[in-house]
Amino acid sequence: MGLIVQKFGGTSVGSVEKILNVAYRVIEEKQRGHDVVVVVSAMGKSTDSLVALAKEITEQPSSREMDMLLTTGEQVTISLLTMALQNKGYDAVSYTGWQAGIETENIHGNARITNIDTAKLKERLNEGKIAVVAGFQGVTAEGEITTLGRGGSDTTAVALAAALKADKCDIYTDVPGVFTTDPRYVKTARKLAGISYDEMLELANLGAGVLHPRAVEFAKNYQVPLEVRSSTEKEAGTLIEEESSMEQNLIVRGIAFEDQITRVTVCGLASGLTTLSTIFTTLAKQNINVDIIIQSVTGTSKTSISFSVKTEDLKRTVEVLEEYKDALDYEQIETENRLAKVSIVGSGMISNPGVAAEMFAVLAEKNIQVKMVSTSEIKVSTVVNEGDMVKAVEALHDAFELSKQTAVI
Question: Closest approach of Cβ 116 to ligand ASP, in Å?
Answer: 17
Near ligand ASP by CB under 6 A, which window of 146-154, 160-168, 325-333, 351-359? Answer: 146-154
9 is in an annotated binding site: yes
Residue 136 near ligand ASP by CB under 6 A: yes
313 is in an annotated binding site: no
Is the Cβ of residue 9 or residue 213 nearer to Mg ion in the bound state? 9
174 is in an annotated binding site: yes
Exposure string (b/e) for 360-377, b if CB count within 10 Å is 16 or more? Answer: eebbeeeebebbbebbee
8 is in an annotated binding site: yes
404 is in an annotated binding site: no
Distance CA 109, CA 267 (A): 36
Q: List all residues 6 or more positions away from 175 whose beta carbon is below 8 Å from its beta carbon.
A: 210, 228, 230
Tell me the H-state helices in 223-340. 275-285, 314-323, 325-328
Reduced to 3 states, what is the DSSP secondary structure of residue 365?
Answer: helix
Near ligand ASP by CB under 6 A, which window of 147-155, 178-186, 190-198, 278-286? Answer: 147-155
Distance CA 23, CA 17 (A): 10
Residue 146 near ligand ASP by CB under 6 A: no
Question: Closest approach of Cβ 171 to Mg ion, in Å?
Answer: 8
Near Mg ion by CB under 5 A, which window of 5-13, 65-73, 77-85, 138-146? Answer: 5-13
Do 228 and 178 contact (CB within 8 A), yes or no? yes
Is the Cβ of residue 66 or residue 270 nearer to ligand ASP in the bound state? 66
- HEC readout, 118-171: CHHHHHHHHCCCEEEEECCEEECCCCCEEECCCCCHHHHHHHHHHHCCCCEEEE
Near ligand ASP by CB under 6 A, which window of 120-128, 150-158, 160-168, 288-296? Answer: 150-158
If contact means CB under 5 to 8 A according to the sort of partner, which of ligand ASP, Mg ion, none does residue 237 touch? none
Name which of residues 7 to 66 contact Mg ion (CB under 5 A): 9
Residue 76's alpha-carbon distances to 83, 272, 305, in angstroms, are: 11, 56, 49
316 is in an annotated binding site: no
If contact means CB under 5 to 8 A according to the sort of partner, which of ligand ASP, Mg ion, none does residue 73 touch? ligand ASP
Is the Cβ of residue 77 or residue 308 nearer to ligand ASP in the bound state? 77
Closest to 41 (Cα-Cα) out of 133, 105, 117, 129: 133
Distance CA 11, CA 204 (A): 19
Question: Closest approach of Cβ 36 to ligand ASP, in Å?
Answer: 19
Near ligand ASP by CB under 6 A, which window of 120-128, 151-159, 249-257, 365-373? Answer: 151-159
Q: Which amino acid is at 14?
A: G
If contact means CB under 5 to 8 A according to the sort of partner, which of Mg ion, ligand ASP, none does residue 136 touch? ligand ASP
Residue 41 near ligand ASP by CB under 6 A: yes
Closest to 229 (Cα-Cα) out of 404, 1, 2, 29: 29
Residue 151 near Mg ion by CB under 5 A: yes
Q: Which of 4, 13, 42, 251 binds ligand ASP (CB under 6 A)?
A: 42
Question: Closest approach of Cβ 264 to ligand ASP, in Å?
Answer: 29
Do 336 and 266 contact (CB within 8 A), yes or no? no
122: left (phi over 0), alpha (psi -120 to 50) or beta: alpha
If contact means CB under 5 to 8 A according to the sort of partner, which of Mg ion, ligand ASP, none does residue 152 touch? ligand ASP
Reduced to 3 states, what is the DSSP secondary structure of residue 106?
Answer: coil
298 is in an annotated binding site: no
Near Mg ion by CB under 5 A, which window of 94-102, 148-156, 303-311, 344-352? Answer: 148-156
The residue ranges that bind Mg ion (CB under 5 A) are 9, 151
The residue ranges that bind ligand ASP (CB under 6 A) are 9-10, 41-42, 47, 73, 135-136, 150-153
Task: Name the binding residues for ATP.
Answer: 7-10, 173-174, 184
